[in-house]
Homo-oligomer: A and B are copies of this chain.
Amino acid sequence: MDKKDKLRRLKNIEGHIRGIQRMVESDEYCIDLIRQIQAVQGALSKVSAKILNEHLHSCLITAVRGEDPDERERVLREIAEVYEMASKV
């Protein structure tokens, strides 16, 4: 996923959030609001997974092949952390 694709997806998500604001303003049905919010959360999970994939194929490879054990450890720990966090949000 290149930069353009990421920005396009985030623009869409921003538009989706504004759509939900309009739904709130016109007092639309609560359950429809919740469903739209859940759709946005799904779209965010997708962007996030794509960014992680990119990270694995660039920074991670560099760090693992590099000479600095602290840097490598930091990069591995960060991936473990966002994975743990992902199961919670």
Q: Which residues of A contact B (CB under 8 A)?
A: 3, 6-7, 10-11, 13-14, 17-18, 20-21, 24-25, 27, 29-31, 33-35, 37-38, 40-42, 44-49, 51-61, 64-65, 72, 76-80, 82-89
Contacts and interface: CB of A to CB of B under 8 A. Distances in A.
Contact of A87 (B10, B13, B89): B89
A38 B7 contact: no
Contacts of A54: 30
A76 B57 contact: yes
14 contacts: A3-B25, A11-B21, A30-B59, A31-B78, A31-B82, A34-B48, A34-B51, A37-B47, A37-B48, A42-B89, A49-B80, A61-B72, A83-B83, A86-B86
Contacts of A79: 31, 52, 56, 79
Contact of A44 (B41, B65, B83, B85): B41
